[in-house]
A and B are shown apart, each in its own frame.
Chain A
Amino acid sequence: MMARPAVIIVGADKGGVGKTTVSRTLLDYFAARRVPVRAFDTETPRGTLKRFHPDITTLVDLNEVPDQMKIFDTLSETQLTVIDIRAGLLSSTLRSLRDIGFIEAARKNQVTLAVFHILGPTIASLDEIADTATFLNDAKYFLVKNFINNTLFFEWDQATYDAYFRRVKNAVEITIPKLNEMACEQVELASVPFVSFIGNKGPLGESAAYSFVLRGYVRHWLGNVWGEYDRIKLADMLGEAEARAAAI
């Protein structure tokens, strides 16, 4: 079988649900597994993801054709692509992907497409599931409950959620656990990847002086998050890309 380029799309139709946090855990996850990865941040001009992972992140505007070309004309089998979609643009991005034939290519196994749909706290965010799912019959579709910075995250009840969840064929649920608030704040201030924070390293790899306790919290939390990625066999799913990286 031919090797396939792989793309992970991380998005939500609402802002403030910790979407970029999830992208950051993914970039760390693949870096730790030595999978070459590049990231696109669509939060122009600010770019939260770029702030944490400046070396591998490019800012793009997905409404612009040249920027779409920058991403989709340069997909390679040796490098995984992670795209952090700006709040509110998940459905329209998937629509564009359909229009350029990318979803069709995923259906034909020419590319691997995975979508991480970060769920928000309101029932409205459940409606998005039905909305986006129509595009994704042949992609890996992950519904992510992100508890990272809010204990009262899910106002809707489990029965309602299950009813929505069942509508989507092949969707897989992922839970991102809560991270200690001070630890969360300190990583934000440090503006470094989670792995650097845990290793007590600054943005340039210099040694830093982060709290041991807060580093411990982040390490423990990130371990749980990666445990979720292991559980869904994320690395296997993108296995071709990984196998190629190992061969190089």
Chain B
Amino acid sequence: MSGSTHVFIVCSPRAGVGKTLVARLIAEFYRASERSVVAFDLEPFEPALVEFLPELTTRVSLSETRGQMALFDQLIVNDGQTKVIDLGHLALESFFALAADLGFLAEAGTKGITALVMYVADETTIARNTYLALRDRFPDLGFVPVHNDAVARGLELRRHFPALASGLPPLHIPQLSAGLRAVIDKRPFSFIQAQHFPPDRLTPDQRDEMESLMKRVFRALRETEIGLLMKNLNSKLTDKAGQ
């Protein structure tokens, strides 16, 4: 039996909070360590991830059975290939409703697939309520709050999006300069590729900023991965002790 396969569900009930950036960074983190990763773009009207990382992203519509199969039939395979979902805010409800109806988490659990919700936090009531509602609805699902400085910051915010008892730390995305944003928002764009072959328009300062962003986010993702490993290990030990 192979190890655990990870599924990252990047989401928020709000548009424009940086979901796609988070999904891009997660996908690139796995690419950077030369591990197999695929991504799904679930933005119904404005596909973005598929334009940034076309070679590893599939665009999927949940309004059709074929689209649902293209997504969930892949998510449920433990093939060691990390899956990243850029869940557009309009697709959030249909995604989680389907996951519940299909019994996704139960089947994922039996197959050694770990799903993790990367929830981009902001100060709106809908973001807070949706976070708490999702956690109530899926008590076995892991949640990692994502704090994007470009959207909101502050201790108050962190209090409203508590990390789970499992101890997975929140992911922090620093505020980026307008110049760097302009470069990395041009599609397609790969951080890994830009690191090896910096585009001409990237100034040395921006390059440093980009390097520090990647370093910081990748380090946090490594911690998340270790946290998941420990969690799986602990639950295996508990299972053994129970036998």
Contact = CB atoms under 8 A, between A and B. Distances in A.
B102 to A, nearest CB: 3
Nearest to B74: A212
A227 to B, nearest CB: 14
A212 B65 contact: no
B76 interface: yes
Interface string B81-125: 000000000000000001001111001000000000000000000
B30 to A, nearest CB: 23
A70 B240 CA distance: 53
B65 A216 contact: no
Nearest to A212: B76
A38 B72 CA distance: 37
Contacts, number: 38
A220 interface: yes
Nearest to B65: A182
Nearest to A221: B101
A241 B98 CA distance: 38
Interface residues of B, number: 13
A247 B107 CA distance: 34
Contacts of B73: 211-213
A188 interface: no
Contacts of B72: 212-213, 216
A153 interface: no
Contacts of A211: 69, 73
Nearest to B103: A216
Contacts of B68: 213
Interface of B is mostly: helix
Most buried by A among B73, B76, B104: B73
A230 interface: no
A181 interface: yes
A213 B65 contact: yes
Interface string A216-235: 11011000000000000000
Interface residues of A, number: 13
Nearest to B67: A213
Contacts of B102: 212-213, 215-217, 219-220
A214 B69 contact: yes
A216 B65 CA distance: 12
A63 interface: no
Interface in B29-85: 65-66, 68-69, 72-73, 76
B103 A213 contact: no
Contact of B101 (A181, A182, A214, A216): A216
Interface in A137-192: 180-183
B53 to A, nearest CB: 24
A181 B65 CA distance: 9
Contacts of B98: 213, 216
Contacts of B101: 216-217, 220
A222 to B, nearest CB: 12
A182 B107 CA distance: 21
Contacts of B107: 212
B111 to A, nearest CB: 10
A180 B63 CA distance: 12
B103 A219 contact: yes
Nearest to B66: A182
Contacts of A217: 65, 101-102
B13 to A, nearest CB: 24
Nearest to B102: A216
Nearest to B64: A182
Interface string B194-232: 000000000000000000000000000000000000000
10 contacts: A182-B66, A182-B69, A212-B73, A212-B76, A212-B107, A213-B68, A213-B102, A216-B104, A217-B65, A219-B102
Given A182-B65, A220-B102, 4 more contacts: A180-B65, A213-B72, A214-B69, A217-B102
Interface of B: 65-66, 68-69, 72-73, 76, 98, 101-104, 107
In the complex, the 8 A-B pairs of residues with the closest C-beta atoms, listed nearest first: A216-B102, A212-B76, A213-B69, A182-B65, A220-B101, A213-B72, A213-B68, A212-B73
